[in-house]
Structure 1
Amino acid sequence: MNRSATLAGLTLAVAAAFSGSALAATDAAPATQTKATSAEASRHDGKAGKPGKEGRHHAGKQHRDAAWIPGLGPVPKPVLDGLALNDAQQKHLTEARDAQRTLHQAMREDRQAGRATLDAQLQAGKLDPRALVQARESQRDKFRAQAEGVQKQWLALWDSLDATQQGKVTEFVKQRHAEHGKRRAPANQG
Protein backbone atom coordinates (compact mmCIF):
# COMPACT_ATOMS: atom_id res chain seq x y z
CA MET A 1 0.00 0.00 0.00
CA ASN A 2 1.38 3.41 -0.84
CA ARG A 3 2.11 6.06 1.73
CA SER A 4 -0.70 8.52 0.79
CA ALA A 5 -3.33 5.77 0.87
CA THR A 6 -2.10 4.70 4.31
CA LEU A 7 -2.21 8.31 5.53
CA ALA A 8 -5.72 8.79 4.13
CA GLY A 9 -6.90 5.60 5.83
CA LEU A 10 -5.33 6.59 9.13
CA THR A 11 -6.94 10.05 8.91
CA LEU A 12 -10.32 8.43 8.27
CA ALA A 13 -9.91 6.11 11.24
CA VAL A 14 -8.98 8.94 13.58
CA ALA A 15 -11.83 11.13 12.29
CA ALA A 16 -14.29 8.26 12.73
CA ALA A 17 -13.11 7.68 16.28
CA PHE A 18 -13.53 11.35 17.21
CA SER A 19 -16.82 11.91 15.42
CA GLY A 20 -18.39 8.74 16.79
CA SER A 21 -19.60 7.58 13.40
CA ALA A 22 -18.13 5.39 10.71
CA LEU A 23 -17.09 7.27 7.61
CA ALA A 24 -17.65 5.72 4.25
CA ALA A 25 -15.43 8.13 2.36
CA THR A 26 -11.99 7.09 1.16
CA ASP A 27 -10.58 10.58 0.72
CA ALA A 28 -9.04 12.55 3.63
CA ALA A 29 -10.73 15.86 2.73
CA PRO A 30 -14.32 14.67 3.33
CA ALA A 31 -13.19 13.15 6.64
CA THR A 32 -11.82 16.49 7.76
CA GLN A 33 -15.00 18.26 6.69
CA THR A 34 -17.17 15.71 8.52
CA LYS A 35 -15.06 16.00 11.64
CA ALA A 36 -15.27 19.82 11.65
CA THR A 37 -19.00 19.73 10.95
CA SER A 38 -19.70 17.40 13.85
CA ALA A 39 -17.44 19.45 16.13
CA GLU A 40 -19.32 22.60 15.15
CA ALA A 41 -22.66 20.89 15.66
CA SER A 42 -21.70 19.69 19.12
CA ARG A 43 -20.55 23.17 20.15
CA HIS A 44 -23.67 24.83 18.80
CA ASP A 45 -26.27 22.27 19.81
CA GLY A 46 -26.80 21.46 16.14
CA LYS A 47 -26.62 25.04 14.88
CA ALA A 48 -24.28 25.80 12.02
CA GLY A 49 -21.79 28.62 12.23
CA LYS A 50 -18.39 29.47 13.55
CA PRO A 51 -17.33 27.64 16.69
CA GLY A 52 -16.87 29.73 19.81
CA LYS A 53 -18.91 32.65 18.50
CA GLU A 54 -21.47 32.38 21.31
CA GLY A 55 -18.90 33.06 24.02
CA ARG A 56 -17.43 36.24 22.57
CA HIS A 57 -18.89 39.61 21.77
CA HIS A 58 -21.56 37.84 19.85
CA ALA A 59 -24.01 40.59 19.13
CA GLY A 60 -22.59 43.82 17.79
CA LYS A 61 -25.99 45.50 18.11
CA GLN A 62 -26.16 44.56 21.78
CA HIS A 63 -22.84 46.28 22.43
CA ARG A 64 -23.65 49.20 20.16
CA ASP A 65 -26.81 49.87 22.19
CA ALA A 66 -25.12 49.24 25.54
CA ALA A 67 -23.40 51.60 27.92
CA TRP A 68 -19.84 50.82 28.94
CA ILE A 69 -19.13 51.62 32.55
CA PRO A 70 -15.35 51.47 33.18
CA GLY A 71 -14.53 48.73 35.65
CA LEU A 72 -17.99 47.18 35.28
CA GLY A 73 -18.21 46.44 31.57
CA PRO A 74 -21.24 46.61 29.29
CA VAL A 75 -24.68 47.51 30.58
CA PRO A 76 -27.11 46.23 27.93
CA LYS A 77 -30.00 48.15 26.42
CA PRO A 78 -32.75 46.39 28.43
CA VAL A 79 -31.05 47.49 31.67
CA LEU A 80 -30.56 51.01 30.30
CA ASP A 81 -34.22 51.14 29.29
CA GLY A 82 -35.13 50.21 32.87
CA LEU A 83 -33.16 53.20 34.17
CA ALA A 84 -35.46 55.71 32.42
CA LEU A 85 -32.62 58.12 31.66
CA ASN A 86 -33.50 61.82 31.69
CA ASP A 87 -32.42 64.15 28.87
CA ALA A 88 -29.10 65.12 30.48
CA GLN A 89 -28.24 61.46 31.16
CA GLN A 90 -29.25 60.52 27.62
CA LYS A 91 -26.92 63.25 26.35
CA HIS A 92 -24.03 61.77 28.38
CA LEU A 93 -24.82 58.34 26.92
CA THR A 94 -24.91 59.61 23.33
CA GLU A 95 -21.69 61.59 23.72
CA ALA A 96 -19.85 58.62 25.25
CA ARG A 97 -21.08 56.26 22.52
CA ASP A 98 -20.05 58.71 19.79
CA ALA A 99 -16.61 59.19 21.34
CA GLN A 100 -16.19 55.41 21.65
CA ARG A 101 -17.13 54.89 17.99
CA THR A 102 -14.74 57.62 16.86
CA LEU A 103 -11.91 56.08 18.88
CA HIS A 104 -12.57 52.58 17.57
CA GLN A 105 -12.74 53.80 13.98
CA ALA A 106 -9.42 55.65 14.34
CA MET A 107 -7.82 52.58 15.90
CA ARG A 108 -9.12 50.34 13.07
CA GLU A 109 -7.66 52.67 10.47
CA ASP A 110 -4.35 52.79 12.31
CA ARG A 111 -4.24 48.97 12.51
CA GLN A 112 -4.78 48.83 8.75
CA ALA A 113 -1.79 51.12 8.31
CA GLY A 114 0.21 48.79 10.58
CA ARG A 115 -0.75 45.84 8.40
CA ALA A 116 0.45 47.85 5.41
CA THR A 117 3.84 48.16 7.13
CA LEU A 118 4.00 44.39 7.58
CA ASP A 119 2.92 43.88 3.96
CA ALA A 120 5.71 46.19 2.80
CA GLN A 121 8.25 44.25 4.87
CA LEU A 122 6.98 40.97 3.42
CA GLN A 123 7.19 42.36 -0.12
CA ALA A 124 10.77 43.46 0.52
CA GLY A 125 11.56 40.01 1.92
CA LYS A 126 12.98 41.45 5.13
CA LEU A 127 11.01 41.27 8.35
CA ASP A 128 11.81 43.60 11.22
CA PRO A 129 9.78 42.54 14.27
CA ARG A 130 11.34 45.26 16.42
CA ALA A 131 9.98 47.92 14.07
CA LEU A 132 6.54 46.29 14.18
CA VAL A 133 6.58 46.16 18.00
CA GLN A 134 7.71 49.79 18.13
CA ALA A 135 4.89 50.78 15.77
CA ARG A 136 2.37 48.94 17.98
CA GLU A 137 3.69 50.70 21.09
CA SER A 138 3.49 54.02 19.28
CA GLN A 139 -0.13 53.25 18.37
CA ARG A 140 -0.98 52.52 22.02
CA ASP A 141 0.61 55.78 23.14
CA LYS A 142 -1.15 57.68 20.35
CA PHE A 143 -4.61 56.53 21.45
CA ARG A 144 -4.07 56.43 25.22
CA ALA A 145 -5.14 60.05 25.79
CA GLN A 146 -8.18 59.65 23.56
CA ALA A 147 -9.16 56.44 25.38
CA GLU A 148 -8.84 58.21 28.73
CA GLY A 149 -11.17 60.92 27.42
CA VAL A 150 -13.74 58.32 26.38
CA GLN A 151 -13.46 56.68 29.79
CA LYS A 152 -14.13 60.05 31.47
CA GLN A 153 -17.29 60.41 29.38
CA TRP A 154 -18.56 56.98 30.46
CA LEU A 155 -17.78 57.88 34.07
CA ALA A 156 -19.70 61.15 33.63
CA LEU A 157 -22.72 59.06 32.66
CA TRP A 158 -22.27 56.95 35.81
CA ASP A 159 -21.94 60.05 37.96
CA SER A 160 -25.13 61.48 36.46
CA LEU A 161 -27.18 58.47 37.59
CA ASP A 162 -29.11 58.88 40.82
CA ALA A 163 -28.84 56.36 43.68
CA THR A 164 -31.84 54.31 42.47
CA GLN A 165 -30.44 54.05 38.94
CA GLN A 166 -26.98 53.11 40.23
CA GLY A 167 -28.67 50.50 42.44
CA LYS A 168 -30.34 48.93 39.40
CA VAL A 169 -27.01 48.77 37.59
CA THR A 170 -25.42 47.31 40.73
CA GLU A 171 -28.07 44.56 40.87
CA PHE A 172 -27.50 43.76 37.19
CA VAL A 173 -23.71 43.56 37.66
CA LYS A 174 -24.15 41.45 40.81
CA GLN A 175 -26.36 38.98 38.89
CA ARG A 176 -23.98 38.87 35.91
CA HIS A 177 -21.01 38.35 38.22
CA ALA A 178 -22.78 35.46 39.97
CA GLU A 179 -23.62 33.82 36.61
CA HIS A 180 -20.01 34.13 35.46
CA GLY A 181 -18.90 32.64 38.78
CA LYS A 182 -21.16 29.63 38.25
CA ARG A 183 -19.62 29.07 34.80
CA ARG A 184 -16.12 29.33 36.19
CA ALA A 185 -16.78 27.13 39.23
CA PRO A 186 -16.47 23.71 37.50
CA ALA A 187 -13.16 24.76 35.94
CA ASN A 188 -11.80 25.77 39.33
CA GLN A 189 -12.76 22.46 40.95
CA GLY A 190 -10.48 19.69 40.08
Structure 2
Amino acid sequence: MTVKGHIIFTIANSILIQHFIFSKILYHDDWWRIIPISIITCLLPDIDNPKSTIGSKIKIFSYLVNQIFGHRGFTHSLLSLISFGFIIFSINLQINNIIYIKLGLIIGYLSHIIADILTPLGVPLLWPYKKKYKLPLINKNFMKEDIFCYLYLIFSLYLLYPICNNIIMKIFV
Protein backbone atom coordinates (compact mmCIF):
# COMPACT_ATOMS: atom_id res chain seq x y z
CA MET A 1 0.00 0.00 0.00
CA THR A 2 1.17 3.52 -0.70
CA VAL A 3 1.83 6.28 1.83
CA LYS A 4 -1.37 8.08 0.81
CA GLY A 5 -3.38 4.87 1.14
CA HIS A 6 -2.02 4.19 4.62
CA ILE A 7 -2.82 7.72 5.77
CA ILE A 8 -6.39 7.71 4.44
CA PHE A 9 -6.99 4.21 5.84
CA THR A 10 -5.65 5.30 9.24
CA ILE A 11 -7.87 8.38 9.36
CA ALA A 12 -10.92 6.22 8.64
CA ASN A 13 -9.87 3.66 11.27
CA SER A 14 -9.27 6.39 13.85
CA ILE A 15 -12.78 7.70 13.30
CA LEU A 16 -14.41 4.27 13.49
CA ILE A 17 -12.40 3.03 16.48
CA GLN A 18 -13.14 6.16 18.47
CA HIS A 19 -16.81 6.10 17.50
CA PHE A 20 -17.52 2.41 18.14
CA ILE A 21 -14.97 1.38 20.76
CA PHE A 22 -13.88 4.42 22.76
CA SER A 23 -17.03 6.54 22.54
CA LYS A 24 -17.96 5.65 26.13
CA ILE A 25 -14.63 6.76 27.61
CA LEU A 26 -13.61 9.61 25.30
CA TYR A 27 -15.48 12.73 24.35
CA HIS A 28 -16.61 12.75 20.74
CA ASP A 29 -14.42 15.71 19.87
CA ASP A 30 -11.33 13.91 21.20
CA TRP A 31 -10.90 11.85 18.06
CA TRP A 32 -9.52 15.01 16.48
CA ARG A 33 -6.61 14.54 18.87
CA ILE A 34 -6.20 10.88 18.00
CA ILE A 35 -6.13 11.30 14.20
CA PRO A 36 -2.89 13.37 13.93
CA ILE A 37 -1.11 11.04 16.33
CA SER A 38 -2.26 7.93 14.48
CA ILE A 39 -1.04 9.41 11.20
CA ILE A 40 2.43 9.78 12.75
CA THR A 41 2.76 6.04 13.40
CA CYS A 42 0.80 4.66 10.47
CA LEU A 43 4.02 4.42 8.46
CA LEU A 44 6.20 3.06 11.28
CA PRO A 45 5.97 -0.66 10.34
CA ASP A 46 7.71 0.19 7.06
CA ILE A 47 10.87 1.04 8.99
CA ASP A 48 11.97 -2.37 7.67
CA ASN A 49 12.27 -0.94 4.14
CA PRO A 50 15.15 1.53 3.60
CA LYS A 51 13.34 2.92 0.52
CA SER A 52 10.12 3.70 2.42
CA THR A 53 9.22 7.20 3.57
CA ILE A 54 10.27 6.54 7.16
CA GLY A 55 13.11 4.17 6.24
CA SER A 56 14.73 6.77 4.04
CA LYS A 57 14.87 9.19 7.00
CA ILE A 58 16.66 6.69 9.25
CA LYS A 59 18.59 4.71 6.64
CA ILE A 60 21.11 2.97 8.89
CA PHE A 61 18.50 1.72 11.37
CA SER A 62 16.13 0.79 8.55
CA TYR A 63 18.87 -1.13 6.78
CA LEU A 64 19.68 -3.08 9.97
CA VAL A 65 16.01 -3.95 10.58
CA ASN A 66 15.69 -5.03 6.95
CA GLN A 67 18.79 -7.24 7.15
CA ILE A 68 17.57 -8.91 10.33
CA PHE A 69 13.85 -9.32 9.58
CA GLY A 70 13.31 -8.47 5.89
CA HIS A 71 10.47 -6.33 4.56
CA ARG A 72 7.04 -7.20 5.93
CA GLY A 73 8.58 -9.41 8.57
CA PHE A 74 8.60 -8.77 12.31
CA THR A 75 7.49 -5.13 12.04
CA HIS A 76 4.24 -6.25 10.39
CA SER A 77 3.30 -8.82 13.05
CA LEU A 78 1.19 -9.01 16.18
CA LEU A 79 4.37 -9.51 18.19
CA SER A 80 5.68 -6.15 17.00
CA LEU A 81 2.34 -4.50 17.75
CA ILE A 82 2.33 -5.96 21.27
CA SER A 83 5.98 -4.93 21.79
CA PHE A 84 5.24 -1.42 20.51
CA GLY A 85 2.17 -1.20 22.76
CA PHE A 86 4.15 -2.38 25.78
CA ILE A 87 6.80 0.28 25.17
CA ILE A 88 4.19 3.02 24.62
CA PHE A 89 2.16 2.17 27.72
CA SER A 90 5.20 1.66 29.95
CA ILE A 91 6.38 5.21 29.29
CA ASN A 92 5.01 7.38 32.06
CA LEU A 93 4.99 11.01 31.05
CA GLN A 94 3.17 13.76 32.86
CA ILE A 95 1.44 15.20 29.82
CA ASN A 96 -2.18 16.26 29.64
CA ASN A 97 -4.29 13.83 27.62
CA ILE A 98 -1.48 11.26 27.38
CA ILE A 99 -4.04 8.49 26.85
CA TYR A 100 -5.05 10.07 23.53
CA ILE A 101 -1.46 10.11 22.41
CA LYS A 102 -0.91 6.47 23.38
CA LEU A 103 -4.16 5.31 21.75
CA GLY A 104 -3.35 7.26 18.60
CA LEU A 105 0.11 5.66 18.37
CA ILE A 106 -1.36 2.15 18.67
CA ILE A 107 -4.20 2.87 16.23
CA GLY A 108 -1.74 4.14 13.61
CA TYR A 109 0.53 1.11 13.90
CA LEU A 110 -2.38 -1.34 13.87
CA SER A 111 -3.97 0.41 10.88
CA HIS A 112 -0.82 -0.12 8.84
CA ILE A 113 -0.82 -3.84 9.53
CA ILE A 114 -4.53 -4.18 8.72
CA ALA A 115 -4.12 -2.20 5.50
CA ASP A 116 -1.29 -4.49 4.38
CA ILE A 117 -3.44 -7.54 5.13
CA LEU A 118 -5.89 -6.20 2.54
CA THR A 119 -3.24 -6.41 -0.20
CA PRO A 120 -2.25 -9.53 -2.17
CA LEU A 121 1.15 -9.73 -0.39
CA GLY A 122 -0.34 -9.95 3.11
CA VAL A 123 1.66 -9.92 6.35
CA PRO A 124 3.24 -12.56 8.64
CA LEU A 125 0.77 -11.79 11.43
CA LEU A 126 2.04 -14.62 13.65
CA TRP A 127 5.74 -13.99 13.01
CA PRO A 128 8.15 -15.87 13.37
CA TYR A 129 5.67 -18.23 11.71
CA LYS A 130 6.18 -17.19 8.09
CA LYS A 131 2.65 -17.76 6.77
CA LYS A 132 1.29 -14.55 5.23
CA TYR A 133 -2.23 -13.60 6.23
CA LYS A 134 -4.12 -11.73 3.57
CA LEU A 135 -7.58 -10.70 2.51
CA PRO A 136 -6.73 -9.21 -0.89
CA LEU A 137 -9.56 -6.73 -1.33
CA ILE A 138 -7.12 -4.19 -2.73
CA ASN A 139 -5.49 -5.19 -5.98
CA LYS A 140 -5.31 -4.05 -9.56
CA ASN A 141 -8.09 -6.34 -10.80
CA PHE A 142 -10.74 -6.09 -8.06
CA MET A 143 -10.45 -2.67 -6.44
CA LYS A 144 -7.75 -0.06 -6.74
CA GLU A 145 -6.19 1.17 -3.52
CA ASP A 146 -7.23 4.83 -3.86
CA ILE A 147 -10.86 3.94 -4.57
CA PHE A 148 -10.97 1.51 -1.65
CA CYS A 149 -9.41 3.95 0.81
CA TYR A 150 -11.59 6.89 -0.20
CA LEU A 151 -14.75 4.74 -0.04
CA TYR A 152 -13.70 3.52 3.40
CA LEU A 153 -13.15 7.10 4.58
CA ILE A 154 -16.54 8.19 3.20
CA PHE A 155 -18.15 5.20 4.93
CA SER A 156 -16.53 6.09 8.28
CA LEU A 157 -17.66 9.71 7.96
CA TYR A 158 -21.16 8.57 7.03
CA LEU A 159 -21.35 6.46 10.19
CA LEU A 160 -20.17 9.51 12.12
CA TYR A 161 -22.95 11.68 10.65
CA PRO A 162 -25.43 11.33 13.57
CA ILE A 163 -22.77 12.55 16.00
CA CYS A 164 -21.89 15.50 13.77
CA ASN A 165 -25.58 16.30 13.44
CA ASN A 166 -25.99 16.27 17.25
CA ILE A 167 -22.97 18.54 17.73
CA ILE A 168 -24.26 21.01 15.13
CA MET A 169 -27.70 21.00 16.74
CA LYS A 170 -26.20 21.74 20.17
CA ILE A 171 -24.18 24.64 18.77
CA PHE A 172 -26.99 26.31 16.88
CA VAL A 173 -30.03 25.46 18.99
TM-score of Structure 1 vs Structure 2, range by shorter chain? under 0.3
Which protein has the larger Cα radius of gyration, Structure 1 or Structure 2?
1
Q: Greater relative contact order: 1 or 2 (C-alpha under 8 angstroms, separation 6 or more)?
A: 2
Greater helix share, 1 or 2? Answer: 1
**TM-score, structure 1 as length reference:** 0.24
